Amino acid sequence: MFLPLRRMDPPAPDSALEVIELGRMAYDDAYALQTRHQGEVIAWRSDSLRGVDARVGRLLLVEHDPPVITISRRAGARDHLLVPDEVLAREGIQVRDTDRGGDITYHGPGQLVAYPIIDLNRCGLNLHSYMRLLEAVVIATCSQFGVRAERDPSATGVWVGGAKIAALGVRVRRWVTMHGLALNVSTNLDHFGYIIPCGLAGREVTSMARVLGEPPPMDAVKSALVRELRRALPYPCTDASRVSVVSTGPAATRA
> In which element (H, E) is residue 168 found?
strand 163-173
- Rounded CA-CA distance 220/197 in Å is 26
Edge-first strand listing for the sheet containing 68-71: 94-97, 68-71, 104-107
Beta bridge partners of 179: 170
- Rounded CA-CA distance 169/157 in Å is 9
The catalytically annotated residue of 123, 142, 198, 237 is: 198
For residue 28, give the nearest of 59, 70, 60, 58 by alpha carbon.
70
Q: Are 215 and 185 in contact (CB under 8 A)?
A: yes
DSSP 245: P
Cβ atoms within 10 Å, residue 4: 10
In the residue annotation, 237 being an active-site residue is answered as no
Question: Dihedrals φ, ψ of 59, to 5°?
Answer: -125, 120
Determine how β-strand 17-25 pairs with β-strand 57-64.
Answer: parallel
List all residues 6 or more positions away from 55 whose beta carbon is below 8 Å from its beta carbon.
15, 16, 17, 18, 41, 44, 48
- Rounded CA-CA distance 59/221 in Å is 15
> In which element (H, E) is residue 59 found?
strand 57-64
Which are the catalytic amino acids? Answer: 198
